[in-house]
Each structure stands twice: as C-alpha cells, then as structure tokens.
Amino acid sequence: MRTPHIQVSVNLDQIRAAAEAIRAQTGVGLIAVIKADAYGLGAVRIADVLAPVVQEFAYFAVAEAREVGRPGLVLGPPEGEPAEFRELNLRPAVTSRALAAKFAGMRVAIKVDTGMQRFGCRPEEVDDLASRCDVEDYFSHAVTLEAAMRLKAACGHRGRPLHAAATCLLKHPETYFDAVRPGLALYRGAVRVSTRLHLVRDTSGPVGYTGFRYPRVGVILAGYSNWVAPAPVLINGRRQKLLEVGMNTSFVTVDPSDRPGDEVVLLGDGLNEAELARHFGVREHEILCRYCAMGPRSYVTAGAATGSLCTIRASVAAPPKT
C-alpha cells in the first residue's frame, strides 16, 4: 500500500523527451506502451503528455483503455465484447479462429507467437487467420532479433504494418519495421522516489527483529507493506543500505553527519532502475512498478511562462493496476 511518508515524483518533460528521441532515432511510428498504469507512473497523465508525440497507445486490457480514454491496441487476450472495443476505438489482438469469428467485421491486429510461447498464433496459422479477419497490422512480443525476424518472415509480404521492437530491440534498427513499441525506454530515469530519516541513533548490542549489529542507524517510516525491501539508498549523496525492513518501518545505515529529516533517496539521483534490478535479480520494469507503488505520485514539468519546475500533486491513492 502507498504511504504518505514516501514521495514518488514523475518527470513528464523527461518522458516526452524520451519519446521524441525514440522517434528521431527510429524514423518510424511510435506505439507507446502504457499497460499496468504506465508501469506505475500513471497512465492518464502519461498519455496526456505523450499524445502529441506518439502514433497511438498499447494497453494490456480494455479496462486500462477505458480509464485513459484514448484509442489504441489491446496487447493481451481480448476480454470483453466487440461493442466495447468499437466504443473505445480499440483493436483486439486476434490469435485464434474463435477470436477471428468473435471480432468479424472489425479492424484487428494479428498477434504472432515468435518465441515467447505465451499468447499469439503460430506463424503457420497466419494465412488462415488473415483470410478470416480485417487485418490492420501484425505484431509479436519479441525480445530477440531472431524473434522479430520470424515476424517479418511470416507477415512481411502482406502489405500491412508490422511492429515487434520493444525497448530491448531499439538497438537493432533492422527490427524497427513500420513502428516501434517501447515502454521502459519512455520511463527509465523519469522517476524519483524518496523519504526522510525519522530518527538517527547510536546502538548498543543487537538491533531490531533480527538482532543485527550496526553502530549507528536511521529509521524511516516505511516498510514491506509499502513494497520496501533491503536495498541500496542514498543519504546526502552517499551510498547507504536498508539493513532490516519491518511492516511499517525500516533501519538504514547512516553517516555520522546524517540527521533526522535528511532525505533518503530510494530511486533516482544516480541510483537507477538497472542497479536496483541487478540487486533484486529482476527486470527494470518490475523496479518501476514496485517503487511507483510506494507512495502518492506527483508530476514535475517545466512551467510554460518561466521555465521553472513546478510540481503537480496527483490524487492517486491505489496501487498501480496489474
């Protein structure tokens, strides 16, 4: 659950700049992935800032698209009735004859399994499905160059747009096809998560639930109920670490000069998603979803008149959707 003791700040200017850079780099359409509440950053606000830059948006489910209120592509299994897709101007991802029949008469995308082995039709099924659908585009969830090339081999001759390149394939221009479909590349480095030292004290003997020993510690008012886990942090620009995490509080190492009220940076200021992903043994996507769920979000953007930074508080109290 979110705690008011942790602040999550999202830099909207940086996200728009990332989108503009990707468009300039690739020279093709940009489909912005805003599933899972834009990886926890807040899909409605992210869609607002990206709308002038991107070609369209990609969701996982219809419910996400309804909340955002913008047309696009539904990447996941197309739950819901055709009327809802029509109402919201969404393209379902067709992967079977049953779905082709269900969405007959609608513009659809055919999703091809090129190696993920999760959703998608087999490449050898594309001919049959294409004969049963009004196909707008073909796509796959590809994480390797070879997988993207399988999509091209299966569908590249059909005269419809192709897209496979998510963030991990932006380094391979041969996978750009007619559009790229990044998520992480839009949001990486745009989030700063911080809290404050509630107290600082010298210790004697075993400390906390686990009886660890450390000569001087700080306490923050956030714990595992707020998705906090033992990890590196920054205090006054110095690397520290969370030693023990309780339900609502956590112990952190401190420097002799650190004082109550000093800021503790959990993500940002050089402590980036990649480092934390390596620490936890997960992907950077998970770091964003986890850390953005820790506290209420605010949004930072350049003031139109002065060029100074202004902060806009969000009224979001629930964890990001999954």
pLDDT > 70? residue 322: no
Which of 137-146, 207-216, 308-317 is predicted least confidently? 308-317
pLDDT > 90? residue 109: yes
**Average pLDDT score over residue span 189-198:** 98
pLDDT for the residue numbered 302: 81
pLDDT in tens, 212-221: 999 999 999 9
pLDDT > 50? residue 93: yes
Q: What are the DSSP calls for 128-153, one per residue?
A: HHHTTSEEEEEEEEE-SHHHHHHHHH
Partners of 252 in the beta sheet?
218, 242
pTM over 0.85: yes
- End-to-end, the C-alpha distance of the chain in Å comes to 14
pLDDT for the residue numbered 303: 58
pLDDT > 50? residue 319: no
pLDDT for the residue numbered 145: 97
Pick from 85, 120, 126, 124: nearest CA to 102: 85
Confidence at 305, pLDDT banded by 50, 70, 90:
very low
Confidence at 278, pLDDT banded by 50, 70, 90:
very high
pLDDT in tens, 16-58: 999 999 999 999 999 999 999 999 999 999 999 999 999 999 9
The tokens describing 53, both together, are 């830059």
Domains and CATH numbers, the chain: 13-187 (3.20.20.10), 191-313 (2.40.37.10)
**Average pLDDT score over residue span 98-106:** 96
Measure the CA–CA gap between 38 and 182, rounded to whole angstroms.
11
pLDDT in tens, 136-189: 999 999 999 999 999 999 999 999 999 999 999 999 999 999 999 999 999 999
Confidence at 316, pLDDT banded by 50, 70, 90:
very low
